[in-house]
Structure 1
């Protein structure tokens, strides 16, 4: 079995963060989202992985992942170009997949229980496809599966007014090569895209059985800033304390804090976990870093109160104010405006930003 990770989206819902890089490389607990997908595939025994690239972020993704050897996998890059739907992306992997079954994993998804159970369930039967599902409170906003008592899928409906269940498709699929014939017969949807739900429905109509696996742990689609913060919180909840860096005498460090080897918490600083601090980060005297915060590499923190925040990296945060529930992009500078007249806030705000003042 092979793996196919979709990394070709433009990340419009994460702008301005994604103006300078692909959404799959936004870090959660100081690890790019894409790496979680690679690790899940490897854990399930899948080491031949194709990564689908779009028109944005190709070089950045290739620079990070390389040939996959640092993860213990073998990576092939497949160029999709313009994103024309999930089924179109799957179709681009036909030559890579060949006659093998394959997992298709949306590269901006994170699961806390991995995909091994989905893969093993698919292998144990004779299926045309397998889908991951999760119970949701708002099924009208998702692709929904109608499933019998044995877990076999009887039908799929995209964002139904009258949902047949509360089981939503969450972006991890297993396919036999038969899906490529179904994709060849698809017509674009009202969105102008080739929909993967339509391809699965065609497999059903062709007589193939469709397996399903209900994910009991948490799952996050990290497509929006709030989702990044929520995923960061969930991942940090399970981390262990690891102080490999320097904690000066007089610093206060409590709870599950991960401190990278070249990071420093100076005397007079307070850090309360769960917190992740990457390499070459300095937390200076008078700073408070509170729970559910991740600070990326090469960052200086001097004086603020920070909680529930992701700082991508290469930044300076020198304000004496309070920062909460924030996503701060790479190479940002956040400083106090004391002494500036007239009183007010001075800022440079990117396209499609959200500010709460």
Structure 2
């Protein structure tokens, strides 16, 4: 079996962060979200991986390399534009050949891995096997309809009137039968080749499509709120480790990781939290569910339930929470007078200002 990991999307819901960074490399607990997926694939026993990349290919290739760090052999497949999940299968046709494969969306996060579903698929070999989870608003997802016996009888992408609350999770397993289905597709109203339409074709041709309704945790880390929630979840599993320097005037409470080269001075860190390598925290409070990345500086400030990307600087700020702060950002207090806000914001930014 091979794997096909999709890492070519533009990440519009995470702008302005994704104007300069691949969305799949935004870190969760100081590790790119893409890496969790690669580790899950390797843990399931898959070794050959096709990585579909787009405009951010150089950044992703630099981060993943040849895949040996994950126990994988990576082949890069260039997608000129994000034209749908089925389009990714189409461009990977030569690479996939006649092998079964697992397709994994690179910005998805699944607790518990995919070992079980990969094992069942290898044993039973339906034409397709999908993972489903119950969601509050299925209109935002691909939705599956099951019959009374639990068999998949229909799929629809982002329906206005969903027939169930079962959304497709971003992990699919296919036999080579999917290639004939993809070859028959026409672009949807969104201008994309939809994988839901391809699986629906399999159903209509009388081929077997199985499903697993997962009860564990799954997130599509496509927006800031979801990134922060996944960060919280990963940090919950931290084990305390102090490899950096913490002075006697500082206090570490709960599960805190201080990476090598990090310095904590005259500060209070309440876990779960991680202070990345080379970071410096002085005269500050870092609260629960916060990830401070490598080479950041937090001075005379308070921050919690946030993700801070490498080399950012936060100085003299009384309170920050529920925030995603990008690479090389500088956050400082505004002048006391006149009463005005001075902003330099990227496209599609969202800002909340007290009146």
- TM bin, normalised by shorter chain, reads over 0.9
Query: How far, CA to CA, are the matches of 1:199 and 1:167 in structure 2?
Result: 18
Which ranges in structure 1 are unaligned for 5 or more consecutive residues? Answer: none
Q: Deviation of residue 207 (structure 1)?
A: 1.8
Q: Deviation of residue 261 (structure 1)?
A: 1.2
Q: Within 5 Å, which residues of 2 pair with 1:221-260?
A: 221-260=220-259
User: Alpha-carbon deviations, 1:137-165, whole Å to 9, x = none?
Assistant: 22233221122455431211233344333
User: Alpha-carbon deviations, 1:4-38, whole Å to 9, x = none?
Assistant: 11011111111100010110010111000110110
| Cα contact 2:317–2:331 (8 A) shared by 1 | no
Deviates more, 1:344-353 or 1:304-313: 344-353
Query: How far, CA to CA, are the matches of 2:214 and 2:294 in structure 1?
Result: 33
Secondary structure of 1:276's aligned partner:
strand
Secondary structure of 1:212's aligned partner:
strand
Q: Deviation of residue 319 (structure 1)?
A: 2.3
Q: How many residues align?
A: 353
Query: How far, CA to CA, are the matches of 1:289 and 1:126 in structure 2?
Result: 49
Partner residue of 2:343?
347
Query: How far, CA to CA, are the matches of 1:126 and 1:58 in structure 2?
Result: 33
Query: How far, CA to CA, are the matches of 2:79 and 2:102 in structure 1?
Result: 17
Partner residue of 2:30?
30
Deviates more, 1:272-281 or 1:152-161: 152-161
Query: How far, CA to CA, are the matches of 2:177 and 2:222 in structure 1?
Result: 30
Secondary structure of 2:69's aligned partner:
helix
Query: How far, CA to CA, are the matches of 1:196 and 1:169 in structure 2?
Result: 11
Query: How far, CA to CA, are the matches of 1:354 and 1:140 in structure 2?
Result: 23
Secondary structure of 1:156's aligned partner:
strand
Which of 302, 307, 314 is the equivalent residue of 1:305?
A: 302
Partner residue of 1:282?
280
Query: How far, CA to CA, are the matches of 2:271 and 2:2 in structure 1?
Result: 38
Query: How far, CA to CA, are the matches of 1:351 and 1:345 in structure 2?
Result: 18
Query: How far, CA to CA, are the matches of 1:162 and 1:225 in structure 2?
Result: 27
Query: How far, CA to CA, are the matches of 2:154 and 2:123 in structure 1?
Result: 21
> Is 1:2 aligned with 2:2?
yes
> Is 1:80 aligned with 2:82?
no
Query: How far, CA to CA, are the matches of 1:149 and 1:209 in structure 2?
Result: 16
> Is 1:331 aligned with 2:328?
yes
| Cα contact 2:243–2:260 (8 A) shared by 1 | yes
User: Alpha-carbon deviations, 1:183-213, whole Å to 9, x = none?
Assistant: 0100110111100000001111122111111
Query: How far, CA to CA, are the matches of 1:317 and 1:109 in structure 2?
Result: 29
> Is 1:273 aligned with 2:271?
yes
Residues 22 and 252 (structure 1), Cα distance of their counterparts in 2 relative to 1, 3 Å cut: same
Secondary structure of 1:192's aligned partner:
coil
Partner residue of 1:18?
18
Query: How far, CA to CA, are the matches of 2:125 and 2:221 in structure 1?
Result: 32
Q: Within 5 Å, which residues of 2 pair with 1:110-189?
A: 110-148=109-147, 151-189=150-188
| Cα contact 1:118–1:212 (8 A) shared by 2 | no
Partner residue of 2:97?
98
Query: How far, CA to CA, are the matches of 2:17 and 2:312 in structure 1?
Result: 14
Q: What is the TM-score with the length of structure 1 in the denominator? A: 0.96
| Cα contact 1:151–1:213 (8 A) shared by 2 | no
User: Alpha-carbon deviations, 1:165-195, whole Å to 9, x = none?
Assistant: 3211011100111111110100110111100
Secondary structure of 1:81's aligned partner:
coil
Q: Deviation of residue 292 (structure 1)?
A: 0.7
Which of 292, 297, 304 is the equivalent residue of 1:295?
A: 292
Q: Within 5 Å, which residues of 2 pair with 1:195-214?
A: 195-214=194-213
